[in-house]
Amino acid sequence: MAVGSGELGTLHPVKGISMAAVSAGIKKPGRLDCVVFSLGDEATVAGVFTTNAFCAAPVTVCKNHLAQAAPRYFVINTGNANAGTGKQGIDNALQVCLEVAELKQLPVAAILPFSTGVIGEQLPVTKIIDAIPHALDNLVEDNWLECARGIMTTDTRPKAASVRVDIGGKPVTITGIAKGAGMIKPNMATMLGYVFTDAAIDKADLQQYLDKSVNASFNRITVDSDTSTNDCCMLAASGASGIVVGADDGRFQAALDKVFIALAQGIVRDAEGATKFITVRVEGGAVPEECLSLAYTVAESPLVKTALFASDPNWGRILAAVGRAGIQNLDIGKVAIYLGDVCIVEAGAVAPGYTEAAGQAVMEKEEITIRIVLGRGDCNDTVWTCDLSHDYVTINAEYRT
């Protein structure tokens, strides 16, 4: 139950970055559930984190450590979010960091912890600590696919993306992985995303590159409008290629956007129960904010999402969602709505040439674009989402069983 082939293409190694995925037996024995990244001695790291007030313990620790020291290792576990766990949750996250710090003779703040899984249970910290030496002994440069699998929860397939970009005549590599399938409406970041480059980039510049790419990717997707407690997205630059990327390099930003958008779209394609990949595009808005909020209103409407699941061109639901999106002084006489290339609403009512057959033909596709033209300005925005299926209900009703 995922949309598209899931083909990932070549995942280039990133010089200076090594990784391992092991099984700590957190929820199920034998399952890959613990991933470690080693960043090398020169790496700079930027991060964006969930805006959920109940952010998880590892998120709190992560932010503190990132402010104190240059990160050298990421430690990620699945099967337990370590969220809603109070002071003990913080202690547990720190203990995981301490284990790596002692084995590698590093300050504890050089280790960043990440968790994903069920909220409200204490982290089985001993299991993770027991697995860490095995992970550290098996770090290799090129194990993206297994690490992408090692951070999966309800995901049905790994998400990874990789590009090479020419910067001043030299090849820079960017490769990243992400996970997420439910509780997805990132608000500054997705569930978990890790992107690496071998370029040398100043930390402040790196943060700017990350913020821009996240805004164009993870901050433009929704599965179920629920922002997670554990969202984290990290960008690490190992510097190992020796190629320096300065601030505001358009080619680097474009390449980075490409990786981030592929990862974000990969999450939507593999969303819980998804059978369709939907692009909601709003054009002709007066201000950017109304375009984004309208796109989200349509993308999050349960009635639009169930119609998409049923391949039913019940466009009245799209029209109703546009109407309730709270756009001030909307002149519905100027609104047009398209399903793919088919104009369904023109001047605020059903388009003269529209036929149910034409709408049906678009709705039966696996990838559908809903385009809403407001006719009140030059702003536009795009959000990616999926349909709402029986499997979404099944997966989330049975999540803890």
Which residues contribute to the site for a copy of itself (CB under 8 A)?
Answer: 51-55, 81, 83-87, 89, 118-120, 182-183, 185, 187, 224-229, 300-303, 306-307, 309-310, 312, 314-317, 319-324, 327, 330, 332, 345, 347-350, 388-390, 392-394, 396-401
Q: How far is the CB of 267 from a copy of itself (least distance, A)?
A: 16
Least distance from C-beta 232 to a copy of itself, angstroms? 15
Output 16 or 180, the one with its CB closest to a copy of itself: 180
Q: Which residue, 121 or 142, has its beta carbon nearer to a copy of itself?
A: 121
Which of 58, 54, 91, 55 has its CA nearest to residue 75?
Answer: 58
Which residues, in sequence order, are CB contacts of 215 under 8 Å at separation 6+?
A: none
- The nearest distance, CB 396 to a copy of itself, in angstroms, is 4
User: Least CB distance from residue 3 to a copy of itself, whole Å?
Assistant: 17
CB burial class (10 A; 0-12, 13-18, 19+) of residue 99? buried
- Residue 87: exposure state from Cβ atoms within 10 A (0-12, 13-18, ≥19): exposed
**How far from each other are the two terminal CA atoms of the chain, in whole angstroms?**
20
Least CB distance to a copy of itself at residue 247 (A): 32
The helix (H) or strand (E) run that includes residue 91 is: helix 86-104
Q: Which is nearer to a copy of itself, 86 or 169 (CB)?
A: 86
Distance separating alpha carbons of residues 197 and 165, to the nearest angstrom: 11
How many other β-carbons are positioned within 10 Å of the β-carbon of residue 63? 15
The residue among 29 and 86 lying less far from a copy of itself, judged by its C-beta, is 86
Is 225 in contact with 215 (CB distance < 8 Å)?
no
Measured from the CB atom, is 224 or 270 closer to a copy of itself? 224
DSSP, collapsed to helix, strand or coil, labels residue 104 as helix
In the complex, minimum distance from the CB of residue 346 to a copy of itself, in angstroms, rounded to a whole number: 9
Q: Which of 84, 76, 37, 374 is nearest to 195 (CA)?
A: 37
Residue with Cβ nearer a copy of itself (235 or 307): 307
Considering beta carbons, is residue 212 or 334 the nearer one to a copy of itself? 334
| Catalytic residue from among 153, 175, 190, 229 | 190
Rounded-to-integer distance, Cα 335 and Cα 333, Å:
6
The question of whether 190 is a catalytic residue gets the answer yes
Whether residue 197 contacts residue 15, with contact meaning beta carbons closer than 8 Å, is answered with no
In sequence order, the β-bridge partners of residue 171 are 166
SS (HEC) of 270-311: CCCCCCCEEEEEEEEECCHHHHHHHHHHHHHCHHHHHHHHCC
The answer to whether 157 touches 270, Cβ cutoff 8 Å, is yes
Can you give 62-76 as a three-state secondary structure string?
HHHHHHHCCCCEEEE
Q: Closest Cα to residue 382, out of 252, 268, 303? A: 268
**Least separation in angstroms between CB 299 and a copy of itself:** 12
Active site residues: 190
